[in-house]
Amino acid sequence: MKVVFHPDYLKVYANDPAASKGRLECILEEIEKDYEFVTPTPAKLEDVLLVHTPEYVEEVKESGVYDIAVLAVGGAITASKIAIEEPAFALIRPPGHHASPDRGWGFCYFNNVAISVRKLMREDLIKRAVIVDFDLHFGDGTANAFCMDKRVVYHHMPGDDISSIEDVLKTVEYDIIAVSAGFDKHKMDWGYYLETEDYMEIGRIIKEYAEENCFGRRYAVLEGGYNCKVLGKNVKAFLKGFE
């Protein structure tokens, strides 16, 4: 398994919890010795426009975060391409699952996962996908991006109902599993739901169904998770199950 990461993701680009200093550093400390790292390049405008409107793209440009936002998209795209051959994890920011085609909120600017899935489809690498989101918050942006596209199933795990992921993965058809990996449901984070070992189980379930149903094709993209005391350990646990 490969980890997609760029040093620019460490930059504090905004005054919000997702951009805070130390957040990615605590993850790197836990995993950097265990995996091969791949450096992404920024996404192209044409990639972003696969999901977002030109008007909204201009808004993001004017906000001053466009460069880091397209680099995050590029990280997700890189992970999705790697996933055709082996699992991948995009250690990126800003997050993306609250970014709809024409608006964004919740620390999100462009929808990294949605764009990467749409690009795989545009390049005929896949025909169908399922997106599993275990972040504390519902990914309204991802749901909005694919609400009219029956080729993509979006599932947000409610509460601590890990079994719901299995219920979806055993009933729908897909060529790849994309994961919005948010870690803010931990009992020491904002959600007070999950233990660290639960993330390993989530990763294991996704791996099992990917290997059974879509040649092992799977990748995950970082979304939420804000307590640096446990975030790195939670990511490490997930990757151990997922790899």
**pLDDT tens, residue order, the chain (243 aa):** 999 999 999 999 999 999 999 999 999 999 999 999 999 999 999 999 999 999 999 999 999 999 999 999 999 999 999 999 999 999 999 999 999 999 999 999 999 999 999 999 999 999 999 999 999 999 999 999 999 999 999 999 999 999 999 999 999 999 999 999 999 999 999 999 999 999 999 999 999 999 999 999 999 999 999 999 999 999 999 999 999
How many CA within 13 A on the CB side of residue 104?
26
In the chain, what are the domain boundaries?
2-242
Which of these is catalytic: 6, 52, 97, 98? Answer: 98
Residue 229: strand, helix, or coil: coil
Q: What angle do CA 144, 149, 155 make, to 5 degrees?
A: 60
Residue 40 in contact with residue 77, Cβ under 8 Å?
yes
Q: How much is the pTM?
A: 0.98
Minimal CA–CA distance to 1: which of 207, 169, 176, 196? Answer: 207
- Determine the topology of domain 2-242 in CATH: Arginase; Chain A (3.40.800)
Residue 67 in contact with residue 223, Cβ under 8 Å?
no
Minimal CA–CA distance to 239: which of 214, 204, 209, 213? Answer: 204
Among this protein's residues, is 156 annotated catalytic? no
